[in-house]
């Protein structure tokens, strides 16, 4: 960050504030959820991250970590629930229900550990 510059407006000195140019990639589901949580429940941290230009790197890191955890947890949860490709072929409705349960369990963990902390 460079030294703060001021401009005169009437009798007042007003700081010339601007953010540096960054490439803003679209956020995924978890990044958007984290942003909403910070904005609504942690406004000081949100403002701090925004003003120091660390908000979007933080949100991208949360998104990446959440996706990694989901990919890591799902196979273990599927194995624990006994979900197999044979079940998928023989009883697709049961397979879908069990898969939804596993994803909900994984997402609950991700939300509590990453998003709402």
Give the domain ranges of the chain: 26-115
pLDDT tens digit string along 3-45? 778 889 888 988 887 767 666 678 999 999 999 999 999 999 9
Residue 108: per-residue pLDDT:
97
Burial of 88 (0-12, 13-18, 19+ CB in 10 A): middle
**CA dist., res. 103 & res. 7, Å (int):** 54
* H/E stretch holding 13: strand 12-15
Residue 21: per-residue pLDDT:
67
Return left, alpha or beta for 16; rule: phi > 0 is left, psi -120 to 50 is alpha, else beta. Answer: beta
How many C-beta neighbours within 10 Å does residue 63 have? 21
Give the CA radius of gyration of the chain.
22
pLDDT tens digit string along 64-88? 999 999 999 999 999 999 999 999 9
pLDDT tens digit string along 50-63? 988 899 999 999 99
């Amino acid at each position: 960050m460079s030294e703060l510059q001021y401009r005169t407006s009437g009798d007042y000195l007003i700081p010339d504030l601007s953010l540096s140019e960054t490439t803003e990639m679209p956020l995924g589901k978890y990044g958007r959820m984290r942003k909403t949580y910070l904005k609504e429940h942690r406004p000081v941290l949100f403002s701090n991250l925004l003003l120091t230009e660390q908000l979007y790197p933080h949100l991208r890191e949360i998104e990446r970590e959440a996706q990694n955890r989901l990919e890591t947890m799902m196979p273990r949860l599927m194995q624990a629930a006994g979900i197999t490709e044979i079940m998928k072929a023989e009883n697709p409705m049961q397979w879908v229900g069990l898969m939804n349960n596993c994803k909900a369990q994984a997402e609950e963990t991700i939300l509590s550990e990453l998003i709402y902390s």
